[in-house]
Amino acid sequence: MPVRALRGATTVDADSKAAIHAAVVELLGEMFERNGVAHDDLVSLLFTATDDLHAAFPAAGAREFGLGDVPLLCARELDIEGAMPRCIRVLVHLESDLDRASLRHVYLHGAVGLRDDLPD
């Protein structure tokens, strides 16, 4: 089966463990539901967080979501002047029969403005 990449992003209102974990769980749930992703489809997930988030690793939220056996990695987002604050991004590598154009990338809350070219 082909390997595809699925993107998503969200923002949090506060730099807290609870807010970060809840945002990751919500984002992954929406991404997987919109694209029919099953646990066994997953290859790996790469998270980034902006420099203003320090309270928790986004990957810890993914483990709460049930992805403890999937390779997860966190990194810092580039610190670009004027970039969206308190933002968590994810790149999901998965096996899927969907072609690239059929994947539905998910941007929630303040992150909606990052990709206004994508369908809902």
Three-state SS string over the chain comes to: CCEEEEEEEEECCCCCHHHHHHHHHHHHHHHHHHHCCCHHHEEEEEEEECCCCCCCCHHHHHHHCCCCCCCEEEEECCCCCCCCCCEEEEEEEEECCCCHHHCCCEECHHHHHHCCCCCC
pLDDT at 47: 98
34 assigned to active site? no
- Domain definitions of the chain by residue range: 3-111
76 assigned to active site? no
DSSP 3-state of 1: coil
- According to DSSP, the β-strands at 42-49 and 72-76 are parallel
| Per-residue tens of pLDDT for the chain, all 120 residues | 899 999 999 999 999 999 999 999 999 999 999 999 999 999 999 999 999 999 999 999 999 999 999 999 999 999 999 999 999 999 999 999 999 999 999 999 989 877 656 555
Whole-angstrom distance, CA of residue 108 vs CA of residue 89: 10
Whole-angstrom distance, CA of residue 111 vs CA of residue 115: 8
115 assigned to active site? yes
- Asked if residue 107 lies in contact with residue 6, where contact means CB atoms within 8 angstroms, the answer is no
The one catalytic residue in 4, 77, 86, 87 is: 77
pLDDT at 117: 60
pLDDT at 100: 92
- CATH number corresponding to 3-111: 3.30.1330.40
Contacts of 40 (CB under 8 A, 6+ apart): none
pLDDT at 118: 59
pLDDT at 120: 56
87 assigned to active site? no
pLDDT at 116: 58
